[in-house]
Structure 1
Amino acid sequence: MLHFQLSPLAFFYASVDVHGTATQVKLSMVFRKLPGVSASGMGLRLSQKFMFLLFLSGLVTLCFGALFFLPDSVRLKRIFLSKTEIQPVTVGSGSENDVREHLKRPKDQGMTSAKGEAGIKLKSQSRKPPVSYEATEVRLAGGKAQEDLNLSRSKTESASEKVTSSNHGANSDTFSYKKFRRCLFKPPLGRDNGRPVDPQTNERREKVREMMKFAWDNYKRYAWGKNELRPLTRNGHIGNIGASIVDSLDTLYIMGLMDEYNDAKEWVKTSLDLNSNGEASLFEVNIRYVGGLLSAYYLTGEELFKNKAVELGEKLLPAFNTPTGIPRGVINLGSGTSWSWGWASAGSSILAEFGTLHLEFVHLTELSSNPVYTEKVMNIRKLLNKIEKPHGLYPNFLSPVSGNWVQHHVSIGGLGDSFYEYLIKSYLMSDKTDDDAKKMYYTALEAIEANLVQKSPGGLTYMAEWRGGILDHKMGHLACFSGGMIGIGADDGAPEKRQHYLDLAAEITHTCHESYTPTKLGPEAFRFDSGAEATATRLSDRYYILRPEVIESYMYMWRLTHDPKYREWGWEAVEALEQHCRVESGFSGIRDVYTTSVSHDNMQQSFFLSETLKYLYLLFSDDDLLSLEDWVFNTEAHPLPIIRNSCLQDDATQEKTASE
């Protein structure tokens, strides 16, 4: 009976105490509700005093506990916990009021707009949701003698061969840059920096190199330190954390633009601020910054890049503080606070975002000896394996709270694309030991073939989108990466299906080439209904923002087949970029690919430097430049090495034996 009276009274008192008003008066009012107890507490019998003390002790205990268990208790915990015990406050770890507060934040404060003034405003641009052209307006967010180039590179590499420790799964072998380089089958830059023997191909490669230098020089002249260049107005676009600089590091290096590379390295050393109290896309920070820094480290051995990558990786971890471990899409790097995109269904996380972390996070574990990064991405995979998938397909929206699909929209383009890419690349990057990734990829590919792959009346093979069982006969430019993806996985499925996968990859790549219009540039999305054949039927789909996905598939298909048509198609794209996108001070996207009287969008995207020009350069280089035997490319085209633990372990054993 007494217990029944204490609980409501205790919580009433806790409520009074939290709000800090008239505590003593209201406490007396509480006591008056107990029969036989006066307000003053005087004149009590012994039994009454005992009951009073018992009640008071219970009241204090419950009030103290309420500080920790009431919904808004996170702030109160800080009063009692030491700094080392306080976890970063994230949506999902606090109250429902905290969740609502994040979801209702003004658009100009979040990632859904580029009008804020925070220094780190990154928007999804590569492998991202397709949007109208207008929306892209506010989105991110010469050479030297060959012997001098080789000398410059050798100095860079010899100055940076320092030992770093790494945790290779369950073993504790030491990882070092020297050992890593010895385990590569081929030098990263090939026997002659990938220079092709054929004069015409070499001339085309040099043209791509000149385009990169032109784009970089104008970025440096007019937008240095900003995320991207606006070439028409000759100024920078939003943010001061140099997305174009970090995205360009590896491209500059493999092209031998060493003065430019050194300028970029110096900026990273002196000006890259990883403590910006701004809001950023977890996905974009990972693929551009973490990926770019990791790639620069593995190519050059510069410890600076490794240290920056690991430091940034640590800042992304609070996004995973959710009930399921599925990270939320937006994070404040300064405070560690995270929340979901305002436009995402019911506060959900996006498949292509939380599914595009594996490659980089595994390498963060390799370089930091901290298994937490691999554990985070493996937890995501475990959840995806556990939940039911409609027709074997992966919908694009998943609740980070419940771990359930929010709705049944499936796309191999925006919102879904790079999740599938990272499955097959995780398998390849593991030196083909990650059987779970392999199984997930081929099972997903079978479901995609059964439900999404279609043939148009004109004989074009394409990837439709799936909306709860209803096909939308549309394919986005973003989905055109899938030709290359299916191609690089052709050798590792069922042997009898190898040629089938190569044929499918070639057919999809051909379809995407057909979408490249009389301007030889492709629209954001194209359709296959109402008589349309790979044509943008909506005005809002006609823009081209210097995207790389079609060219990416050309590069992979060239390396897999050496069919000369892929190089010819790539050269068509080079000529089109020169004719329609090159302006006086850089390169710009265009608003309508169906008219030769182009209107420019005034944006030189950072992925143009990281992906489009890099894939073109590789297309016109020999295959030993970043050989696919040694490297996989993340979804921002940053090369990451295949992890050959057996080689590193054998190398360590040999060194130990030699020392003994």
Structure 2
Amino acid sequence: ATYQSLEERLSQHRVVPEKTLKSHVSKVSMVFRKLPGVSASGMGLRLSQKFVFLLFLSGLVTLCFGALFFLPDSVRLKRIFLSKTETQPHLKRPKDQEHPRGMASVKGETSTKLKSLSRKPSVSHEATEERLAGGKAQEDLTLLRSKTESASEKSTSSDHGATSDTFSYKKFKRCLLRPPLGTDDGKPSDPKTNERREKVKEMMKFAWDNYKRYAWGKNELQPLTRNGHIGNMFGGLRGASIIDSLDTLYIMGLVEEYNDAKDWVQTSLDLNSNGEASLFEVNIRYVGGLLSAYYLTGEELFKNKAVELGEKLLPAFNTPTGIPRGVINLGSGTSWSWGWASAGSSILAEFGTLHLEFVHLTELSGNPIYTEKVMNIRKLLNKIEKPHGLYPNFLSPVSGNWVQHHVSIGGLGDSFYEYLIKSYLMSDKTDDDAKKMYYSALEAIEANLVQKSPGGLTYMAEWRGGILDHKMGHLACFSGGMIGIGADDGAPEKRQHYLDLAAEITHTCHESYTPTKLGPEAFRFDSGAEATATRLSDRYYILRPEVIESYMYMWRLTHDPKYREWGWEAVQALEEHCRVESGFSGIRDVYTLTVSHDNMQQSFFLSETLKYLYLLFSDDDLLPLEDWVFNTEAHPLPIVRKSCLQDEATQDKTVSE
């Protein structure tokens, strides 16, 4: 049709021989097939032919640009034609202009549109096309980091006025009362004590070296079979033993081992997992481990990873009450309750053991949402009725009511109470709500659960709807240390009473450590039993730290030498019964001297058991309690001195002016 139209127009303007006309048409046909040649040179064409060619070329250009802006895979071409101003948010800033946190940030209007982490950010049309082009994962990560930056700047500037708009590690260090590692890395002056400390350090190196040799990157070492164990608690996350060991390696001065762990975090810790994770375990081990590593070393890597992982836990709080569910898919954000939990309930020790880490996530990110989430839990617990002042272990995240009246200071309940007193201490003793909740709970525990055996042993029984079960779990043995560190902050006239109670409970737990000098998972005080496991299913020991934890706290509070002697008993027992050729293993029966091993070197053995033993044989200025609290996985977190940080910021501003 185009050729015919051309022929008609040519015939109207001049009479030419047919042979010549066909020659012109042939030339135009070649033009259509070889456009680049024509666009480069219009030579040899008459005026009318040039008009036709330009008409065709303009149509072709219009078609191309239409495709450029409407086809889904055109984003790269658009960047060629769009101005530099329009594409600025996607350009990486020069290194010397990057945000102090090392995260990508945006400028101008895009930055002002980003919301807090709890809201979905506005996404440009170009960003949508980028996702369609296959860049969804990277785009999500950029948005995640940009949200964190924006929330940090916005929240900090509104909360602190003239203070710096980012967390300052230097200011934090100046607000500590003492250096974290003491004057000489906590080395005791007594040669015997130092020798024992060096033995614990050797145990840590032995456990770590075998983990690295046989299970590197896996969650835990299986020392008998010399391979790694992944498990299903961490939702696809790897390296639990590495994260749990970071601070232990650092304070012990195992520099090469610490650097290996740090390098693994930098190159191999993948937070984009898509499995079923325990909210509780990921928080206390991974988030807690990364936070403590940052506060001890100042390495931005650990802070960035902790905040990134913290955001992945937030969807677990999307319930009618704000009480988080126990299991979360870290990829999709879907959460649900444990299948074994009564009526789809959440567990007191799990949703009650988030406060320390989440407050620090707010400190580092500047985003208040983390603190808001855990404070909402507090508000609900204060509002609902508590039987005899006690906190049952199961709570519905839908109705906000207790599901059944089972109370335990051991498993299912334990660290909820620990986090109340530690929240108060970590707030520089300004969190009066936590203080009130803790001492009210402790009074109810004393009135209803604390018992004295016929042999004079003080223990914590369990409560089942008003009926006492005279059983105490190994997990409940942390309570000696907990009551001890809270003794100074209750009623002055009760200080000695609390110290005595702490000492009695710690003594009871020591009595359960026999005949192997290692304690069972649970022990009873009925039918003539005194701190003894009467059931075969309770006789195992899985390298737990709780008894040794109380030894460490009681040593620091009283300096009674018996606690160091008891700790040395535990060291010798671990060496004799749990040390195998390629690591440390739990045992199946603490009452049998011919032991059977369970083939598992738990990550908390590296994080808690060996760390508490090392601190027990160190001077008190190694991680002094005036500056640090330990989360329930023994990761040290600093006391938050808001007034000091604000004073430091004011001084810095005055100097700069």
TM bucket (normalised to shorter chain) is 0.7 to 0.9
Structure 1 residues 263 and 503: alpha-carbon distance in aligned structure 2, compared to 1, 3 A threshold? same
Q: Contact 2:274/2:332 (CA < 8 Å) preserved in 1?
A: yes
Bigger shift: residues 490-499 or 45-54: 45-54
Alignment of 1:488-503 (within 5 A): 488-503=485-500
Structure 1 residues 456 and 645: alpha-carbon distance in aligned structure 2, compared to 1, 3 A threshold? same
Deviations 1:223-247, CA, capped at 9 Å, x for gaps: 000000000000001259x100000
Match of residue 204 from structure 1: 196
Deviation for aligned residue 1:61: 40
Structure 1 residues 154 and 38: alpha-carbon distance in aligned structure 2, compared to 1, 3 A threshold? closer
How many residue pairs get matched? Answer: 631
Structure 1 residues 118 and 146: alpha-carbon distance in aligned structure 2, compared to 1, 3 A threshold? closer
Structure 1 or 2: more helix by fraction: 2
Distance in 2 (alpha carbons) for counterparts of 1:306 and 1:151: 18
Deviations 1:433-480, CA, capped at 9 Å, x for gaps: 000000000000000000000000000000000000000000000000
TM-score (norm 1): 0.75
Structure 1 residues 305 and 23: alpha-carbon distance in aligned structure 2, compared to 1, 3 A threshold? farther
Distance in 2 (alpha carbons) for counterparts of 1:402 and 1:214: 49
Deviation for aligned residue 1:175: 2.6
Deviations 1:523-580, CA, capped at 9 Å, x for gaps: 0000000000000000000000000000000000000000000000000000000000
Bigger shift: residues 40-49 or 389-398: 40-49
Bigger shift: residues 341-350 or 165-174: 165-174
Bigger shift: residues 205-214 or 648-657: 648-657
Deviation for aligned residue 1:63: 41
Structure 1 residues 239 and 119: alpha-carbon distance in aligned structure 2, compared to 1, 3 A threshold? farther
Deviation for aligned residue 1:659: 1.9
Distance in 1 (alpha carbons) for counterparts of 2:18 and 2:482: 57
Distance in 1 (alpha carbons) for counterparts of 2:579 and 2:128: 18
Bigger shift: residues 556-565 or 645-654: 645-654
Q: Contact 1:279/1:332 (CA < 8 Å) preserved in 2?
A: yes
Give 5+ residue unaligned stretches, structure 1. 1-15, 89-101
Match of residue 655 from structure 1: 652
Q: Contact 1:484/1:554 (CA < 8 Å) preserved in 2?
A: yes
Distance in 2 (alpha carbons) for counterparts of 1:136 and 1:516: 62
Q: Contact 2:217/2:242 (CA < 8 Å) preserved in 1?
A: yes
Deviation for aligned residue 1:298: 0.1
Question: What is the SS of the residue equivalent to 1:229?
Answer: strand
Q: Contact 1:113/1:139 (CA < 8 Å) preserved in 2?
A: no
Bigger shift: residues 262-271 or 78-87: 78-87
Structure 1 residues 133 and 249: alpha-carbon distance in aligned structure 2, compared to 1, 3 A threshold? farther
Match of residue 218 from structure 2: 226
Distance in 2 (alpha carbons) for counterparts of 1:403 and 1:17: 97
For the pair shown, the structure with the greater C-alpha radius of gyration is 2
Of 410, 418, 423, the residue aligned with 1:413 is 410
Bigger shift: residues 603-612 or 163-172: 163-172
Q: Contact 2:512/2:519 (CA < 8 Å) preserved in 1?
A: yes
Deviation for aligned residue 1:655: 1.4
Q: Contact 2:103/2:146 (CA < 8 Å) preserved in 1?
A: no
Deviation for aligned residue 1:62: 42
Q: Contact 1:127/1:415 (CA < 8 Å) preserved in 2?
A: no
Of 201, 211, 216, the residue aligned with 2:208 is 216
Alignment of 1:489-638 (within 5 A): 489-638=486-635
Structure 1 residues 18 and 271: alpha-carbon distance in aligned structure 2, compared to 1, 3 A threshold? farther
Q: Contact 2:114/2:150 (CA < 8 Å) preserved in 1?
A: no
Deviations 1:373-406, CA, capped at 9 Å, x for gaps: 0000000000000000000000000000000000
Distance in 1 (alpha carbons) for counterparts of 2:298 and 2:185: 17
Deviation for aligned residue 1:656: 1.5
Q: Contact 2:287/2:310 (CA < 8 Å) preserved in 1?
A: yes
Q: Contact 1:590/1:601 (CA < 8 Å) preserved in 2?
A: yes
Question: What is the SS of the residue equivalent to 1:373?
Answer: helix
Q: Contact 1:120/1:239 (CA < 8 Å) preserved in 2?
A: no
Match of residue 91 from structure 2: 103
Deviation for aligned residue 1:421: 0.1
Distance in 1 (alpha carbons) for counterparts of 2:93 and 2:470: 35
Distance in 1 (alpha carbons) for counterparts of 2:527 and 2:93: 41
Structure 1 residues 397 and 132: alpha-carbon distance in aligned structure 2, compared to 1, 3 A threshold? farther
Structure 1 residues 492 and 157: alpha-carbon distance in aligned structure 2, compared to 1, 3 A threshold? farther
Deviation for aligned residue 1:415: 0.1
Deviations 1:126-155, CA, capped at 9 Å, x for gaps: 999999999999999999999999999999
Deviations 1:66-119, CA, capped at 9 Å, x for gaps: 99999999999999999999999xxxxxxxxxxxxx999999999999999999
Runs of 4+ residues over 4 Å off in structure 1: 16-88, 102-174
Q: Contact 2:320/2:397 (CA < 8 Å) preserved in 1?
A: yes
Structure 1 residues 566 and 31: alpha-carbon distance in aligned structure 2, compared to 1, 3 A threshold? farther
Deviation for aligned residue 1:658: 1.7
Match of residue 129 from structure 1: 121
Deviation for aligned residue 1:588: 0.2
Question: What is the SS of the residue equivalent to 2:36?
Answer: coil
Q: Contact 1:157/1:301 (CA < 8 Å) preserved in 2?
A: no
Deviations 1:236-288, CA, capped at 9 Å, x for gaps: 01259x10000000000000001000000011111111111111000000000
Distance in 2 (alpha carbons) for counterparts of 1:17 and 1:500: 123
Structure 1 residues 557 and 53: alpha-carbon distance in aligned structure 2, compared to 1, 3 A threshold? farther
Structure 1 residues 310 and 23: alpha-carbon distance in aligned structure 2, compared to 1, 3 A threshold? farther
Structure 1 residues 263 and 501: alpha-carbon distance in aligned structure 2, compared to 1, 3 A threshold? same
Question: What is the SS of the residue equivalent to 1:406?
Answer: strand
Q: Contact 1:157/1:300 (CA < 8 Å) preserved in 2?
A: no
Q: Contact 2:246/2:289 (CA < 8 Å) preserved in 1?
A: yes
Distance in 1 (alpha carbons) for counterparts of 2:594 and 2:134: 30
Question: What is the SS of the residue equivalent to 1:201?
Answer: helix
Question: What is the SS of the residue equivalent to 1:159?
Answer: helix
Match of residue 5 from structure 2: none
Question: What is the SS of the residue equivalent to 1:526?
Answer: strand
Deviation for aligned residue 1:169: 11
Q: Contact 2:114/2:121 (CA < 8 Å) preserved in 1?
A: no
TM-score (norm 2): 0.76
